[in-house]
Amino acid sequence: MRIMDYMERYEYEELVFCCDTKVGLNAIIAIHDTTLGPALGGARMWPYQSEEEAVLDVLRLARAMTCKASAAGLNLGGGKAVIIGNPAKDKSIGLFRSLGKFIESLNGRYITTEDVGTTVHDMQHIRSETTHVTGLPLAWGSSGDPSPLTGFGVCQGIKACAKESFGSDSLRGRTVAIQGFGKVGSNLAGYLHNEGANLVVTDINEEAARRAKEESGATLVNSNEIYDVECDIFSPCALGGVLNRQTIPRLKCKIVAGGANNQLQEDEDGDLLQQRGILYAPDYIVNAGGIINLSVELTGYNPELARDQVAEIYKTMERVIALAKSDEISTARIADRLARDRIEEARKVRTIYLKR
């Protein structure tokens, strides 16, 4: 890929490569857009097969965070960090402290939190070097792991979609196929189980799959079979790019709604879902619970306020559905428009000089 061409096409602000050989840190920070406020997005740790794969992932993730914050009505921009490494064996205190120094050097333009492959404990080490980190322990007066509220928000989005597709937002007796039983997937499964849904789960991690069966009574299938499961709702909760021209024709569901970021491999895949009569809950609409939770932390954490704000995802999804029906375009296109319009409106505001 031609990195600068890609950044110009999607209007990125900054891409930072972070290297500290003494602690084994190879990381990339992407800042997409700070029109609405500082860029907020997690630090992901993953054993990428190449630097190009890591660059593309961090760029796509940062852009998704911009859309997520804007559509959720937050005064935040979009950013992301990825650490190239295996989270099962390559972590160290020094690695995360070093990343914290690089984040500090950005002077507040990027705020981090946990993501795939990182934990609240890892954020504590980053906090040793910078204040620009969220998702710290509850005992510190912070919000802790955002995954529970992310799962709650996805469940609210699913219920709004169920109301549209089935005439009721009750999930009792509905079958939900969950792809990925990580932090978000497992929390979502708990909410769905309590709603009376039947779960089918896949995860590449055998231990995670075993927990899904024990905790939620889920039926387990292998990773390739999940696309062919007869279900009411398909819920991608692993990595991105899983909805594409190869997988969408295989789906046997009425709704797609999950916690993974960048579920559509191409923008046109949202149109393909619509053409198949599948209601798609745009990922950054329904998985915004985490960033909403973290935004509350930035101004003084109140768990009741955070949960109330995340519950509004139900209404946001209803609005997306209504606009998509009115304009006769896909929900994915509507979500993009809502996010883009709010940023464009902010760019029109007159700039005045403020002495600092």
80: annotated active-site residue: yes
In the chain, at which residue ranges do the beta strands (DSSP E only) sit? 14-20, 25-33, 39-40, 43-46, 77-84, 110-111, 175-179, 198-202, 219-220, 233-236, 255-256, 279-280
C-alpha closest to that of 183 among 200, 203, 161:
203
Of the residues 68, 80, 183, 254, which is catalytic? 80
Q: Beta strand pairing status for 77-84 and 43-46? A: parallel
CA distances from 206 to 181, 182, 202, 220, 314 (A): 10, 11, 9, 10, 33
CB burial string 307-316: b at 16+ within 10 A, e below = bebbbebbeb
Q: How far is C-alpha 229 from the geometric centre of its chain's CA atoms?
A: 24
Residue identified by tokens 């020094």 is 94
Contact 136, 142 (CB under 8 A): yes
Q: What are phi and psi of 204, to 5 degrees?
A: -70, -20
Q: List, by residue number, the catalytic residues.
A: 80
